[in-house]
Each structure stands twice: as structure tokens, then as C-alpha cells.
Amino acid sequence: MLKEIKKEKECIMELQDMQKSYNKVEVLKEISFRVQTGDIIGLLGPNGAGKSTLTKVIAGIEKADNGVVLFHGENIQKNAINFKKRLGVVPQDIALYEDLSAYDNVKFFGSLYGYKGLELQNRIEEVLNFVGLWDRRKESPSKFSGGMKRRLNIACSVVHSPEILIMDEPTVGIDPQSRNHIMHLIRTLQERGTTVIYISHYIEEIEELCNRVIIMDYGKLLVDDEKDIIKKRYYDKGCENLESIFLTLTGTDLRDGVE
């Protein structure tokens, strides 16, 4: 799963005018952006901005009301199975089987992608080593710490070597050591050719990890550019870091309801 797939930068995925409503409330409002190979895109937005909905729409878990997703220039609807094989999603809520061992959890996800036999075994070994859980492979995640569960969740999401990986808040509720480890894993994945969309409320993680930043609020895309360009643009307007840019754009009101 960790083979080098270095390429020139090209557009791997493009979203065009994605729209989605729940109960007549529009939670995605014509979202469009392009993802280049090798990007680590930080997707920021207050609670309820629509980040997870966007993830679910891309992954085909929810159906968009309008808009298209292009993967290597082709509408994903034309070959949804191919797209799903090349996409990895680390969900916000940990999705593991507590009564299976760590090994069998990864095996389950690997077999969903059609891997079996020696190739499946090799992939399981590789990803469990990658996340530092090979020695704990026989234990079930019910005995794991929060950080270990998050790492196992990542192993399950990359066992099929996705070209593009969407990570929805993969570092919630874990200690700085585990977070640091996960940051390192993401950088390694990127160096080895995986393109990453990284959702987090920890702006310092986005600052550290991402080359591009998208900020959305109330279902709208507010900013989409190279991180350094955004920082330079807003520095001139008195914002010293990404957090102050974020608060300038999205305000300080609590998001307890809809707009």
C-alpha cells in the first residue's frame, strides 16, 4: 500500500456546484473546488458548516441534489465502483468492530476491496506496521486507547492504497503524542503519493500540515487557495495567523442553529 506513486501535479478530483439540502435547508451551496495530486488540503469551517456532508456526498454515502464530482476528469457516477476503490475515508466517528481483533478489522476492510490470500495478508501487515499496531494485532480495539483506535481507523482506511484520502477530524480526543504520530503518518502518506483532504477544528494542525486551505461556513465556500497566499493576503489586513483569518471570515457567533 505504500508504494511510491510520484507524479507531476495534475487535477485528481474536481467538485462542480455541489448542492445538498436536508429538510429544505441548504447545507451545501454550489461548492466547487479542484484537488491537485499531492495536495494536503485543510478543510476548515465552524460546526455545521457542511464539511462532513461534503465528505459524505463525495464518498457516495449521501446523494447530492445537484452538482458533479469529477475524478481524473470523469464523472464519478460513470464508474462509481472504480472511484470508491481509489478513495479512502477516515470517518469522524471511529468505525471499528470491537469484537474483532485489530488484524481482523483491517482484514474486513481489505476484503471489502476484493483483496484476499497473500496479498491481503501483506497489506494488513504493512498498514498495521505503518500505524504502529502490528505487535497489538491480536487484541481487540475495545482494549485500545483513543489514539490507538484512531490509528487503527486509519489503517482500515488505507489498506487498499487509496489515491485520495479524506480524513474527517482524525485527531479528536487524543493526546499530543498520538496527534503528533498521526501528523507524521499523513505526511508519509503524502510523500508516498496519496492526496489528502484533511478536516479539523485544530487550526494549528492545518497550519502545520496543509499546503492548501479551504474555509467554508453555512454551506458556502469562503476561501480556497494556497495556505501561504491566504496568509499573505490576510496578513496585509491585520490577521497574523490562520486562526485570526478564520475568525475574521466566519465571525465569533456560536453555531447552535441554522443561518
Ligand X SMILES: Nc1ncnc2c1ncn2[C@@H]1O[C@H](COP(=O)(O)OP(=O)(O)OP(=O)(O)O)[C@@H](O)[C@H]1O
Where along the sequence are the contacts to ligand X (CB under 6 A)? 22-23, 27, 45, 47-53, 258
User: Quick one: cell of 197?
Assistant: 483532504
Closest contact distance (angstroms) between CB of 203 and ligand X is: 13
> Smaller CB distance to ligand X: residue 1 or 49?
49
In sequence order, which ranges of 161-238 are alpha helices (DSSP H)? Answer: 176-191, 203-209, 227-235
CA 123 – CA 226 distance, rounded (Å): 34
Q: How far is Cα 151 from Cα 94, in angstroms, rounded to an integer?
A: 10
Q: Closest separation between CB of residue 73 and ligand X, Å?
A: 27
Given the complex with ligand X, which of 38 and 46 has the nearer CB atom? Answer: 46
Counting Cβ atoms within 10 Å, is residue 249 exposed (0-12), middle (13-18) or buried (19+)?
middle
Nearer CB in complex with ligand X: 48/193: 48
User: Which helix or strand (DSSP H or E) is residue 222 part of?
Assistant: strand 220-226
Which residue's CB is nearer to ligand X, number 19 or number 140?
A: 19
Closest distance to ligand X from the beta carbon of 255 (Å)? 8
Work out the number of other CB atoms within 10 angstroms of the CB of residue 207: 15
Shortest spacing between CB 55 and ligand X, in angstroms:
8
